[in-house]
Amino acid sequence: MSTLIKALFGPGRWLGDGRYYVFAVLLPLACLAPWGIVTEAAPDHRTKGEHWGVFSSIPIELKSFDARSLPQAMAVDEHVNRLFSVSTSTLLTIIAVASTLMGLMIVVRGLVTPKDRIVFGGVWLLLIVVLIAVMDPTQHGTRIIALLGQDVFARTAGAIYDGKPLVLLKRLLMSANIIVVIGGATLAIAATTLAATGSRLETLADLPGLERLRRRLDLILFASALVLGIGLIDMKYWHAWPLPFVADAKQYEKLTNGFIAFQSVCYVGVLATLYLPTALVLDAARARIKKNVVADLAAPSPANDGLAASEASSLSAAVAPLAVLMRAVTVLSPVLVGPLSTIIDLKLIH
The pLDDT assigned to 318 comes to 47
Mean pLDDT for the stretch of residues 310-315: 55
Report residue 19's pLDDT band, with 50, 70 and 90 as the boundaries: confident
Does residue 263 sit within a domain?
A: yes
pTM: 0.87
- Alpha carbon 169 to its chain centroid, in Å, reads 21
What percent of the chain clears pLDDT 70, i.e. is strictly above it?
81
Tell me the per-residue pLDDT of 272-308, one tens digit each, with 9 for 90 and over. Answer: 899 989 999 999 999 998 888 877 666 655 555 555 4
Q: How far apart are CA 92 and CA 1, in angstroms?
A: 47
| Number of C-beta neighbours around residue 318 at 10 A | 7
- Indicate whether 242 belongs to any domain: yes
**Is residue 27 a part of any domain in this protein?**
no
Q: What are phi and psi of 7, to 5 degrees?
A: -65, -30
Identify the three-state secondary structure at position 78. Answer: helix
Number of C-beta neighbours around residue 36 at 10 A: 16
Average pLDDT, integer, range 70-93:
95
pLDDT at 293: 80
Q: Is the pLDDT of residue 344 over 50?
A: no
Q: Is residue 350 part of a domain?
A: no
Model confidence at 38: pLDDT above 90: yes
Is 250 a member of any domain? yes
DSSP-assigned states of every residue in 261-276: HHHHHHHHHHHHHHHH
Mean pLDDT of the chain: 85
What was the pLDDT predicted at 67? Answer: 92
Q: Flag whether 161 is in a domain.
A: yes
The rounded distance, in Å, linking the Cα atoms of 186 and 25 is 10
pLDDT level of residue 261 (50, 70, 90 thresholds) = confident
Sequence-separated (6 or more) residues with CB below 8 Å from residue 345: none
Listed in sequence order, the residues at least 6 apart from 32 whose beta carbon sits closer than 8 Å to its beta carbon are: 266, 269, 270
Give the Cα separation of 66 and 276 in Å (integer).
Answer: 54
More confident residue, 167 or 229: 167
- Please check the confidence at residue 262 and state whether its pLDDT lies above 80: yes
Tell me: pLDDT of 333 over 90.
no
Which helix (H) or strand (E) is 66 found in, with range? Answer: none
What are the tens digits of pLDDT across the range 165-219? Answer: 999 999 999 999 999 999 999 999 999 999 999 999 988 889 899 999 999 999 9
Domain holding 266, by residue range, is 69-299+310-343
Q: Is the dihedral of CA 95, 173, 32, 60 positive or negative?
A: positive
Does some domain include residue 23? no
- In terms of C-beta distances under 8 Å and separation of at least 24 residues, what long-range contacts does 304-312 make, across chains too? 307/204, 311/204, 311/207, 312/204
Q: Is residue 46 part of a domain?
A: no
CA pair distance 101, 280, nearest whole angstrom: 25
Question: Where does the pLDDT of residue 56 fall: very low under 50, low under 70, confident under 90, or very high at 90 and above?
Answer: very high
pLDDT tens column, 122-168: 999 999 999 999 888 988 999 999 999 889 999 999 999 999 999 99
pLDDT classification of 43: cutoffs 50, 70, 90: confident
Total count of domains within the chain: 1
DSSP state, residue 161: G
Buried b (16+ CB within 10 A) or exposed e, 97-128: eebbebbbebbeebbeeebbeebbeebbeebb
**Which tops the pLDDT comparison, 205 or 338?**
205
